[in-house]
Every structure is written in structure tokens, then in C-alpha cells.
Amino acid sequence: MSIEQVISEWEGQVGCVGFDHETGAFFSIAIHSRALGPAAGGTRAMRYAGFDEALRDATRLAGAMTLKMAIAGLPMGGGKSVIALPAPRNELSEATWRRILEVHAENLATLAGQYWTGPDVGTSAADMDVLHERSGGFAFGRTEAAGGPGSSAPETAHGVHVAIHAAIREAGFDDLEGRRVLVQGLGAVGYDLAARVAADGARVIATDLDAARCERARRELGAEIIEGDAVLATPCDVFAPCATGGVITAGVAAELPARVIAGAANNVLDAPSTADALARRRIVFAPDFVANGGGGIHLVGREVLGWSPDEVAAHVEGIGTTLSEVFELARHDGVSTERAARMLAQQRFEAPIAAPAAPSASTGRAAPALAE
């Protein structure tokens, strides 16, 4: 897909694109919507086959952030940063990575608060410390040592766990005791989620490209480890995709031997219409922008709305109520759960919008909204 195609098929703005000659990294910041507040979304740093693919990922992920913020009732819009790395993250020297963060921070500063970033695949709370300091404050999710609320991953895992429980009830079973839960990706969110479902008595099946993470899950959680290419053919009660997106295509939806899909991976469907094929097979799908909202609730709740950790946790529990509404609307209107969730998110744009509280770079707390 050409860059022209990526941009012309998208309704948002590309806030920034760039290339750093010193490191060979390509940068993009996609801003999908600022209707509910400044755009927010994490920084993803990984290898891509080409910059067109990276930019397409940024635009699609930014769109998912708009839906996520809207359905969670948060006063932010949707955006995303994607950095296409010159080599796998674990092969970059500290100096190269530091330089990449500094260039990204300059890009954030240029946008002057139209877009706020946070952690995502390939970036951590410690990286947010650097981005916050060097951009003039436009990064959520700094370490507690640096005055931030820490990683978004634990509350994301909490929310996905809540979503799994809502979805299994919709599928007709009440608990996870003895159920097979397949976790794809044992990173910051996936490992935490695997530990939570193991504590529920589930039989954890897991896979990751990183053998050490698999070994840890086998040792600590008693997980059965499977090869990556066996994931979509392994029977399970719950499939929890926690790696990258695009895993469920129409072909996969027609065959997947699972009863429930609920995970953290953003844009897990290759296209919204793929959810129709899941609905036809009565596979209960928890839309990812609802299920994985816990991280955004943590970051925006703590840093913009001034919530305590307990208030954040209570809002994350609310993901279960939102999903119940999604399932009920899907049943009532005879549409897929993805479609129903999009309809619910859309209602936030149709309701009269009170002036959104935009964060201030210096404090991270609410300040007067930016002029649109």
C-alpha cells in the first residue's frame, strides 16, 4: 500500500512524519480526532516492512484510540505514534534508543499538546520519563519515581480480565475453573493477564516469540506452551490476543476453535466486518477498544482527572458494565458486538459536548480546552 493510499483512505490528520539520518528510524504521529479533547495514544516502536506499513498502523491505531476514549467516557481524542525502528528494539544500543526518544520528543513538542503520548508496544514508563522531560510534558505514564502514575499495563490487564468475565457470562459459563484460556503474547499486559486467569483456576495455554517469557509462564503459572503457528488451531474456551493486531481475519473467524475472544491487542480484527463472521458462529467477541481501555483509564484518570488508584480501579471494573450494554445492544439490533460497540461510542459525539478538560503540560491536570 502506498503512502498516498494510506493518507487518502483516512479521515484524520498526519501530525508529523520524519526520518532521523543518525539512527535510521522513521517517525509518524497520527491524529484521528480531537472532538472530545486533545488526541491521546501510545508510542509504538518496532520493526516494519516499510514506512507505508508503519503509517498505516499509526492511522488505524489512532482511530481505535478515538473509539476507546469515547466509550470509556474520557475527555480525550484519539492519536498514535509509530516509530519504525532500524533494527529490533533489543538490538539497539542505549545511545541509539536515547537519540530516537529525543527526536520523538521534539516531534511531540512541535504538536504543543494537540497530542499526548503514553506507553505501548516497545516503550515503557521509563521511556515516558524521557519523552515527558524532553517534550515539555506531553507524555502520560511516567514512572512513579519521576512523579508519574507508572505503567498502564496492570490496569489494562485488569480491564481485560473484567472483559473476559463479562464475555464468558454472555457465552453461557460463569467461571474459568478448568477452562482453557489461550494467551497470545506474554508481554507487559499478557503475562499479567495470564497470572490473573491462572488464579481463577483456568488452564493457561500460552505463546510468545520470546522463549524466556514462555519458560517463565510454564514455570510460574503451569502454562502449556504452544508454537506460534498452532495458536489459531488450538481449541480453547477463551482466546486472549495480547500481541499485535490483525490476528482475526475472515478466514480465521470461520475456523477459530474458541467460544470467546477477549484480549488486549489493539485492532485485533483485520476489518470491523470480520466481527459478522464471528457473530454467525456465535463466538462472543469483546471489542478490543472496550476490553483494553484500562490503560487509558489509568493514564487519563490519574493524570488528567486527578483520580486515586482506587477510583481508577472502580472505573476499570466499569468495563464489565459497558460490555454488558454492548452485548445487549448487539442481541437487540441483531448486529455484531463490534458494530454495537461502535454505535455506543458514536453516541458520545452526538450528545452535546461539555467543554472538554484538556491536560496542562506542566501539571498533567485539567486545564482549559484547546481551541479546535
Annotated binding-site members = 185-190
Among candidate residues 44, 80, 196, 348, the one labeled active-site is 80
Q: Which does 41 bind (CB under 5 to 8 A by kind): ligand PHE, ligand NAI, none?
A: ligand PHE
How near is the Cβ of 85 to ligand NAI at its closest, in Å? 13
By beta carbon distance, the residue nearest ligand NAI is: 187
Query: CA 351 → CA 70, 91, 139, distances in Å?
Result: 11, 48, 29
Does residue 205 sit in helix, strand or coil?
strand
Q: Is 210 in the site for ligand NAI (CB under 6 A)?
A: yes
Our finding on whether 57 is near ligand NAI (CB under 6 A) is no
* CB-based contact 315:301 (threshold 8 Å): yes
Nearest to 284 by CA among 338, 360, 332: 338
Considering only residues 59, 66, 292, 336, which one is a binding residue for ligand NAI as defined by CB under 6 A? 292
Kindly provide the residue ranges of all beta strands, DSSP E only, lying in 150-211, ordered along the sequence. Answer: 180-184, 203-207
Question: In terms of DSSP bridges, do strands 358-359 and 366-367 run parallel, antiparallel, or are they unpaired?
Answer: antiparallel
Distance between alpha carbon 344 and the CA centroid of its chain, in Å?
A: 19
Q: Residue 129 touches which of ligand NAI, ligand PHE, none (CB < 5 to 8 A by kind)?
A: none
C-alpha cell at 195: 497470572
Least Å from the CB of residue 336 to ligand PHE:
22
- Name the residues that contact ligand PHE, by CB under 6 A: 40-42, 118-120, 140, 152, 266, 292, 295-296, 299
Pairing of strands 284-285, 13-20: unpaired
Q: Which residues of 90-120 are buried (b: 16+ CB within 10 A; e: fewer)?
A: eebeeebbebbbbbbbbbbbebebbbbbbbb
| Nearest distance, CB of residue 56 and ligand PHE, angstroms | 17
The reply to whether 28 sits near ligand NAI by the rule CB under 6 A is no
DSSP state letters, 32-43: EE-SSSSEE--E
All cell numbers assigned to 172: 453461557
Closest CA to 287 of 348, 213, 240, 338: 338
Residue ranges for the binding site for NAD(+)?
185-190
- Contact criterion met (CB below 8 Å) for 245 and 265: yes
Count of residues in the chain:
372
Indicate whether 88 belongs to the interface with ligand NAI (CB under 6 A): no
**Furthest-apart CA atoms within the chain: distance in Å:** 56
Question: Which of residues 166 and 354 has its CB atom nearest to ligand NAI in the complex?
Answer: 166
Round to whole Å and give the CA distance between 203 and 193: 13
Query: Which residue number, 118 or 320, has a Cβ lying nearer to ligand PHE?
Result: 118
Does residue number 207 form part of the binding site for ligand NAI (CB under 6 A)? Answer: yes
**Per CB under 6 A, 228 contacts ligand NAI:** yes
Q: Which residue, chain included where needed, has cell 477477549?
A: 262
Q: Is 149 in the site for ligand NAI (CB under 6 A)?
A: no
140 binds, among ligand NAI, ligand PHE, none (CB under 5 to 8 A by kind): ligand PHE
Which DSSP letter does residue 353 get?
P
Retrieve residue 189's grid coordinates: 499486559
CB of 348 to ligand PHE, least distance (A): 16
Residue 199 interaction partner, one of ligand NAI, ligand PHE, none, beta carbon < 5-8 Å per kind: none
Q: Which of 33, 234, 266, 336 binds ligand NAI (CB under 6 A)?
A: 266
Judge whether 68 counts as a catalytic residue.
Answer: no
Under the criterion CB under 6 A, does residue 153 sit at the interface with ligand NAI?
Answer: yes
Q: Is 188 in the site for ligand NAI (CB under 6 A)?
A: yes
Q: How far is the CB of 270 from ligand PHE (least distance, A)?
A: 18
Q: What is the set of active-site residues?
A: 80
Residues that bind ligand NAI (CB under 6 A): 119-122, 152-153, 156, 184-190, 207-210, 213, 228, 242-244, 264-266, 292, 295
